[in-house]
Structures are given as structure tokens and as C-alpha cells.
Amino acid sequence: MTFRSARDLEEADRRDPGLRQLRSTWAPPKGFARLKEINNTFIGMLYVLTGIFFFVVAGILAALIRAQLAVPENDLISADWYNQIFTMHGTTMMFLFAVPMMEAIAIFVIPQLLGARDLPFPRVSAYGYWAYLLGGLMVLTSLLFKVAPDGGWFMYVPLTGPEYSPGYGPDFWLLGIGFIEVAAIAASIELIIGILKFRPPGMSMDRMPIFAWYMLVFGFMILLGFPPLVLGDILLEVERAFDWPFYDADRGGDPLLWQHLFWLFGHPEVYIIFLPGAGVLSTVIPVFARAPLAGYVWVVLAAVGTGFLSFGLWVHHMYTTGIPVMSLSFFSAASLAVAIPSGIQVFAWIATIWSGPGVLFRAPMLYALGAIFIFVAGGLTGVMVALVPVDFQVHDTYFVVAHFHYVLFGGAVMPVFAALHYWTPLVTGRLMSETLGRWSFGLIFLGFNVAFFPMHLTGLRGMPRRVYTYPADLGWDWLNMISSIGAYMVAAGVAVFLWDWLYWHRKHGQVAGYNPWNAGTLEWHSVTPSTNFSMRSVPIVSSTYPLWDEPELGDRVDRGEFYLPDSPDERRKTLRTGSVMGEPRQVIFLPHPAWSPIIAAIGTATFFGLAIFKLWWLCAAAALVIIIAGIIWMWDAEPLPAPNRYDVGRGETLPVHINGADTHGFWAMALLLIFDAAAFVSLIFSALFLWTVNRDLSPPVPEAEPGWALAAAGLAVLASVFFRLGAFANRRGSMIGLVLGPLAGLPAMFASGGALMGSLFDAGISPTENAFSAVYWTFAGWTGFHIGVGTIFIFYTLARALAGKVTPERRQSVMNVELFWHFTTGLALVSLIMIHLWPRVI
């Protein structure tokens, strides 16, 4: 039989116990307890709604900006309000809309696209979502009290430093955004592992849906691109709170250090936003062109290439800071080079359209075509601003405002609207209105160009950015008026979209049924709306567009012919497959709804919220809440049923629990440490940078007894050895060895951290003295923080051991903790080198 409507499914449900089991296993909790739900479908939906909420808020701020600038010398909005408004417009759009929105779409759609029941760590997604919501609201609240950050979304020091911004504004930014970065990292780790390890059998990497490729690059870019900002944030907050002078030119610091750290993040950030958008275009265009994506390999290489190149361009935001022109030319060339992968993608889209039997102009396709138009224009002005002489003139003018709005609207906003039109039926089971879609597209597309095209001219005619008003008669008056009119057209278009999306189509939209767009990818394999568990059974896939190449596949999935077609034990589970070839390897028991993620998120929000007001003791209490929630959360990790095999259907069984470097838990720890290491490398970069810019001050040599440093190094290595021995003993079945190893390693590590700080005390180095001494103490503090976290991990592991949850067969958590400890030892050693060796050899 075939499934073409919801009624067919109901029919099947009555006769099919497997489907019934799946439904009850994956049913969300009822009533208020629904907030416990951690399933990606639910969390993804909330995530998307929240992303659009912040988009609307940031859009309202944009409307206020355009109202103020519509006429010269306007006194509608005062300078202090205006500065908060434009800062919050940029901040909200970048940190609360663009990046989270892409994560949101991916969290919702990636498991369905990949035939997985959920993402690898559903509680991490839930925690990330709640952290994002609370952090975002926290930052927005500051606006209600007129204490919002007003230093621009780029937060340049010294304007945002303790001297020129003594208020709370920058703290809201630094801590609120820092908090949201936590959510971004959670999502990136989740997506990387989800894409690499949670695909359906048979989906080797060369058959992955193109969107998954883009999101994989996206995940790695967040993992490596956010750390410099996280470090810069920490340094600035420490400078504000404790007067450590990293950016203070009078004490050997440098305001340009902030700019380097910010743009080391900020430029990859642009592509972090653009790549998912391009991924949507590469997904939507083939569907409506009715042809497979042309040049799949080229597009994959272009996405990966963009990811690499984007880390080499950051200085093009700093052409005017006095860097020698030949150095600038290097970054100029790199900035031009990034046009090549973008060009490849545009030509791949054109070739795809050419290959099909004719384009279907449905709303998602209109948005996609609009996106190409706007993005190509933005890309070409991007070439212009990449040229050093041209940028000398247009930098920080409305020309740049026009340029990056073209790039981001074409590369992100239009694709988001395309994606929402395209994938919403998966949530509501109904298609959005084509008529309203045309209206919203027309208004947004036209309005956008009316608003932003004139800004190229406004900028060339000399109008700088971020001015709350401007004198009449300089040639900017009517251009600004036109821009404001265009902005309100965009607002009208967004309103039409929202009306349709939130209300109209849910009441009156055409029922979407089965595969309404005739798409080729797995999320459309069955009747919409999709279920919490994505697929009745996890299919075997043999091409990039399985629904096109095997028209019967959807029905076979729905009949439960493939893997995991039932759930007699009422446990949520999914399949883990090999990263490259996608062969089944393991059944993962997924967690069920729980309060711990939301409690941990509230704890985190409280922590950051209190830190804004420097209430350190209450912060410690909030940290305790996070730790307790985390331990409760992790307690049921590593389920090991007896026997350790699960019948996945088709006469096959797979292990439920495995140990080793192949597990998703180990990968998560490794990816987290990659993030951590990238932030630590940014700290080393900061030390080297300060050394190169300081002419009068060189890194002070800590004149301490050499015994301190040697002891610290020796003890750190000793701690690692003890831990290795403990883990080794566990493998041999020795419980005593398992307990003794960490218990011996812990004091050694504490002594090592103590000796590291002791060496600084002994040398009389105070962190407020100059930028280098502050950096030394940051190295020491970084190591100390890891020792603290590692201590919690150790006691957690020991508690598990005592509860009988650590055995030779269940050693994964020990392995993860051990990895963390060796990493900490590495940090201690590198810190010692940077503090004691480096100043002596330079």
C-alpha cells in the first residue's frame, strides 16, 4: 500500500504495533511538562520561532534608524538612544538572528534530511536553545532600561573600555553575547557529529545532501571562528572588571588587539552566516529547477574552500589602521580570492537551472532567485571594498553599509525566507500561500533594493556610518529619504510573510500531503507534517536524491521495511553509522525529556546576568546549580544493556554500548577541546601581537626561582601519568587502581597550578601592572580554570565508579575525562613556556 495522506497513516497505525510503539515512545510530555521535551523537532521549531522573533525586534530597530535618518537634522531620536539602537540592531541581527537562525533550521531539518531520529545530544540542543532564548532576552532587556550597549556591534576599545563606558552597557554585550556563544558552540558540535555519524546506512559522504555539507563546514567554522571572540570578550570583561590592561595603550596594551581578535572572528562570521544560506539555495534551486545540483563536487569544494579562505581575510576590516600597504595587499588578494568559490556556486546554480525542464516559480524559488540577484551585486561591491585604495575612501561609509546588507540579505535573509517557505509544511502540514508569498517577496525584494542601492551613492558622497544625524545640503538628503521608504517596504513585506506564516496558512493553506514540492531528499519521504521521530524506519540510501531515484523508497520506509521499525522497549534510539561510508555501527539510546537542560540553562543565564552586576558570590551559587544539573544530566550516560546487542530489524543486531575514539561522546569532548585550544591559541597570538607592537616595553622576565616553574611542569606531567595509570587499572578491572590514580593525580595537578601561580607571585608580577603581566596571569588563570573543571570531572568519575557505572566494559566517561586531563597538562606546560621561557629567548 502507499501513503499519500494523513488518513492512510491513521489507518496503518491501527493495524501496526511497531508504528504505535514509535509514536508513544516519541510522544512529547503533555501540558507544562512539554517544556521538558528535547526532541529536535520541538526544539528546532522553538528555535526558528525565537530566531524570527529576534529578527523582527532587530527589524523594528532598523525601522527606527531609518525614521531618524529620513530627513537631515532630525531630532526624533536623541544621540544616546540612537547609538543604543544601532548597536542593538547589529548585535541582534548578527548574534541573535543570523547565526542562531541557521542553527535553528539545521537542528530542525538535519536529522530528517539524514534519516536520523534526532541529533546526537538532544539535551545539548535543548540546553543551547534555552541558553540562547534567555541570553537574547537578557541582552534585549537592557534596551528597556536605556542601559543597552552603545559601542557598536564591533565594540571597539577603548570606547567600550572601563574609562569611556563605565556603565553596564558593554557588560550586557560581553556577557550576554558570551552566553549566546555557548549556544552556538553547543549547536556546532551537535551538527558536526550529527552529520558525520548519524546518517542513514548507505549514505556515504559523496551522497550527502548538499545542505549537510554546508552545515558541516558551518559547524567547523563556528568551532574555530568563535574562539578569538570568546577570548577577546574575556580579556575585555576582565579589563573592565579587574583593570587588567590588555587594551590600554598607556600600559603596553593595544586597542588594535581587540580589532584583530574581533575580526579573526568577525570575518569567518560573515561566511558562517552565508554558507547555510548558500546551502539552502543549493537545496531549493534543484527542486524547483527539477534537476540535480550541477557540479556537486565543485560546490562541496567551494563550500570547504570558502571556509578555509575566510580565516585569512580579517585584516580587510582594518585597512585604515596604519598597517603597511604591502601587508594589506596580501589580505586584499585573499579577499579577492574568496570571490572564486562564490563564483563557482553561482555558476553551479545557473547550470542547475539550465539543466532542468523549466523553472517552477513557487515562492521558495522566487526568494532563491532574488537571493542570487542580491548576492551577486553584494559580491561585486565586495570586490570593490577588498581593494585597498577604494576601501580607504568607502570604509565606514554608507557604501559599506550597502555592501554588507547586499551580501547578508542575499546570502542569508532571502535564503531564510526561502527555507521557511520550503520547509514549513514539515511542521504545519500545510503549504504557505503562493499569493501572499509573491506579495511578500515582491515587497521585500523591491524594498530592499530601494533601501540599499542608494546607500552606495550616499557613502561615496561622503556620509559616514553610525551617525545619528547629518547636516542638510551635503547631497545626502533625498538619498536617505529614498532609503527610508525602501526600508518600510521591506517591513511591509515581512509583515505579509509573518501573517501568512504564523496565521493564514495554518488555517487556510493548502494541505501539503506527501512530498508537495516533489523534492528528492529524505525529509519529504512521507506525509507532512513530519513526526517527532522523523522516519518510521531508517532507510538504506543509494543516491544523493533518494526520493527521485527510488520512487518506492518513501513507502518502504513508512511500511517499516528498514532499520529500527519499532520500539518495544519504549526507548528513544537512533542508528550511528560510519563517518565516511555510512555503514551501521551502533544503536544509540537517546535521552528522554528531562528538566536538567532547562535548569542548567537558567543557571547559566543567572550566572551571566549576575556577573554583569559583579555579584560574584551569587554567581558562585548559580555555578553550583549548573554543576548539579550537569551531573544529574550526565548520570545516566553510557547505558549498557545485557546483552549488549539490539535487534535493529532486517535480521541484524548492533551493539548499544561501545568504547573508544569512535564514539560520539569522545568526539564531542575532542571537538570541545579543539574549540578550547583555538581560544588558547588566540591568547598566545595576543601575547605575540603585543610583543610586536610594543617598542618601549618587552615582556618582563619573571625573576623567580627556576624551581617554581620546573616543579609546576613536573607535577603536571605526573598528574597525567597518575590518571593514565588509573584508566589503565580500570581496563584491567582494578577498582582500587581506578580510584587511586585520579586521587593521586588531583593533588599533583593542584600543586602544579599552585607552583605556576607561585612563580608569578615570587617574581612580584601583578596583573594590573602592564599588558604582559596581565597576559601571564591569564595563562595561569586559564590553566587554573581547567584544573577546577577537571576536579569536578574527577569527583564525578569517582562517584560513577562507586555506583558501579565504571567497569572495564564501560570506560567511555573515564576516557573522556582522561582526555580532558591530558589537555589540561598541555595547557599548563604551554603556559609555563609562555611565561618563563618565551620572555627569556626573545
Partner 1 sequence: MGWQITSQSNPRYDSMQGIQSVFEPRSIQADAILALSNWVFAAGSLIFVLVMALLAWAIISRRRHPPLRNTVFIAIGGFAFPAVTLSILMVFTVLVSLHITSPAGENAVRIHVTGHMWWWEVQYEGPDGERIETANELHLPIDRPVSITVTSEDVIHSFWIPSLAGKVDMIPGHVNEITFTPTEAGVMRGQCAEYCGLQHAKMAFYVVVEPAEQFDQWLEEQAQPAVEPVPDLLKAGQQAFVDQGCGSCHAVRGLPGAVGQIGPDLTHVGSRLSIGAGWLDGSVGNLAGWIASSQHIKPGNRMPSFDRLDGKTLRALAAWLESLE
- What residues between 212 and 251 interact with partner 1 by CB under 8 A? 249-250
Contact by Cβ (8 Å): 233, 182: no
Name residues contacting partner 1, limited to 144-203 (CB under 8 A).
150-152, 156, 158-159, 164
Distance (Å, whole) CA 814 – CA 543: 39
Options 8, 181, 391, 558; binder of partner 1; rule CB under 8 A: 391
Interface residue with partner 1, options 348, 612, 668, 709 (CB under 8 A)? 348
**Residue of 142, 282, 332, 544 interacting with partner 1 (CB under 8 A):** 332
Q: Is 383 in the site for partner 1 (CB under 8 A)?
A: yes
Closest CB to partner 1 among 42 and 468?
Answer: 468
* 369 binding partner 1? (CB under 8 A): yes
Decide if residue 256 touches partner 1 (CB under 8 A): yes
Site for partner 1 in 91-110 (CB under 8 A): none
- CB of residue 754 to partner 1, shortest distance in Å: 35
Name the one range near partner 1 by CB under 8 A: 436-444, 468-476, 787-795, 806-814: 468-476
Q: Does residue 339 belong to the site contacting partner 1 (CB under 8 A)?
A: yes
Count of other CB atoms within 10 angstroms of residue 660? 9
In the region spanning residues 707 to 736, those forming contacts with partner 1, defined by CB under 8 A, are: none
Residue 344 grid cell:
563557482
Cβ proximity to partner 1: between 330 and 503 the closer is: 330
CA atoms within 13 A on the CB side of 414: 32
Told to check if 503 binds partner 1 by CB under 8 A, we report: no
Separation between Cα atoms, residue 763 and residue 702, nearest integer Å: 5
Give the contact letters, 543-582, x = binds to partner 1 (CB under 8 A), - = no: ----------------------------------------
Say how far apart CA 219 and CA 119 lie, in whole Å. Answer: 14
CB distance 822 to 720 below 8 Å: yes
Residues 682-701 that bind partner 1 (CB under 8 A): none
Question: Which position among 2, 5, 321, 653 is part of the footprint of partner 1 (CB under 8 A)?
Answer: 321
SS3 712: helix
Rg (C-alpha) for the chain, rounded Å, is 27
**How far is residue 656's CA from residue 587's CA, in Å, rounded to a whole number?**
5
Using CB under 8 A as the criterion, what x/- string covers residues 269-298 for binding partner 1?
Answer: ----------------------x--xx--x
Say whether residue 34 binds partner 1 (CB under 8 A).
no
- By the 10 Å C-beta count (0-12 exposed, 13-18 middle, 19+ buried), 384 is classed as middle
Q: Report if residue 405 touches partner 1, rule: CB under 8 A.
A: no
388 binds partner 1 per the rule CB under 8 A: yes
Contact 222, 265 (CB under 8 A): no
**Residue 320 vs 766, nearer CB to partner 1:** 320
Told to check if 329 binds partner 1 by CB under 8 A, we report: yes
Q: Smallest distance, Å, CB 471 to partner 1?
A: 5
By CB under 8 A, residue 377 contacts partner 1 = yes
**Minimum distance between the CB of residue 157 and partner 1, rounded to whole angstroms?**
8
Q: Which of 166, 462, 551, 707 binds partner 1 (CB under 8 A)?
A: 462
Residues counted in the chain: 842
Q: Does 472 bind partner 1 (CB under 8 A)?
A: yes
Q: Is 395 in the site for partner 1 (CB under 8 A)?
A: yes
HSE-up of 587 (CA within 13 Å, CB side)?
23
Is the Cβ–Cβ distance between 480 and 69 less than 8 Å? yes
What's the CA gap between 132 and 50, in Å, rounded?
9
Q: Which candidate, 360, 343, 210, places its Cα nearest to that of 282?
A: 210
- How many residues bind partner 1, per CB under 8 A? 84
Give the C-alpha separation, 691 to 702, whole Å. Answer: 16
Binding mask 41-80 for partner 1 (x = CB under 8 A): --------------------------------x----xxx
- Our finding on whether 350 is near partner 1 (CB under 8 A) is yes
Which has the closest alpha carbon to 716: 673, 759, 761, 751? 751
Q: Are 153 and 234 in contact (CB under 8 A)?
A: no
Please say which residue, 381 or 528, places its beta carbon nearer to partner 1.
Answer: 381
Residue 346 lies near partner 1 (rule: CB under 8 A): yes
Q: Which is nearer to partner 1, 291 or 564 (CB)?
A: 291
State whether residue 300 is helix, strand or coil: helix
How distant, in Å, are the alpha carbons of 6, 517, 526, 543, 546 from that of 514?
A: 9, 9, 6, 20, 15
Asked whether 287 and 518 are in contact (CB, 8 A), the reply is yes
